[in-house]
């Protein structure tokens, strides 16, 4: 079973390689997607489930991420497979929001992200597509594309808390919960 690599693993800090047309045809991309799906399903920490994962997080230096909301919420995020994704539009308007990461389970932070983005990518069947997103989905896409560029949310965060510090703040300020 694929496992998450630790935060200090070199693959998390380097630019991932593009998936080649040969890797799309020979099943390499589909195998990575299968491994990402297996890895994301295993994540449950403090009642939180995962919503997205990128190939570098399982030690594979390839430009693939998936968004696959593991919650049972009615308003779940759409499932998106993005192979060799890149932004074609990024809004100038930004907002600061909280982020966590499967690769850094003990910390959370405030990260400034564009409120809207558009990506171009390829799906698991080799079909090219363009997809726009706003709000949380745009934030997730930026977070996952950062993974493909060797950037962790802690590299961008304006403020970072450990899990214990965050719990203490919530205890002292119930409005944060």
Tokens 């630019």 -> residue: 15
Name the 3-class secondary structure at 133: strand
Reported in sequence order, the residue ranges of the chain that DSSP labels E, i.e. its strands, are 44-45, 48-49, 52-54, 64-67, 80-90, 94-99, 107-114, 116-122, 128-134, 159-162
22 catalytic? Reply is no
Rounded Cα distance, 121 and 153, in Å: 22
Q: To the nearest 5 percent, what fractions of the chain are helix, strand and coil?
A: 35, 30, 35
In terms of Cβ atoms closer than 10 Å to its own Cβ (0-12, 13-18, 19+), residue 163 is: middle
Options 7, 23, 144, 158, the catalytic residue? 144
Residues marked active site are found at 144
């Amino acid at each position: 079973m694929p496992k998450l690599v630790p935060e200090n693993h070199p693959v998390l800090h380097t630019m991932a390689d593009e998936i080649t047309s040969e890797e799309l045809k020979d099943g390499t991309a589909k195998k990575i997607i299968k491994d990402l799906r297996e890895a994301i399903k295993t994540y449950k920490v403090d009642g939180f489930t995962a919503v997205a994962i990128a190939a570098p997080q399982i030690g594979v230096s390839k430009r693939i991420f998936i968004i696959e909301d593991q919650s049972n919420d009615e308003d779940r995020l759409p499932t998106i497979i993005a192979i060799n994704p890149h932004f074609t539009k990024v809004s100038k308007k930004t907002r600061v929001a909280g982020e966590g990461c499967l690769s850094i389970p003990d910390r959370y932070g405030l990260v400034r992200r564009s409120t809207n983005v558009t990506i171009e990518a390829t799906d698991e069947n080799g079909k090219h597509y363009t997809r726009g997103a706003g709000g949380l989905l745009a934030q997730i896409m930026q977070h996952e594309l950062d993974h493909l560029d060797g950037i962790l949310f802690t590299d961008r965060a304006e403020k970072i808390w450990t899990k214990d510090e965050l719990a203490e703040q919530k205890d002292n300020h119930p409005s944060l919960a």
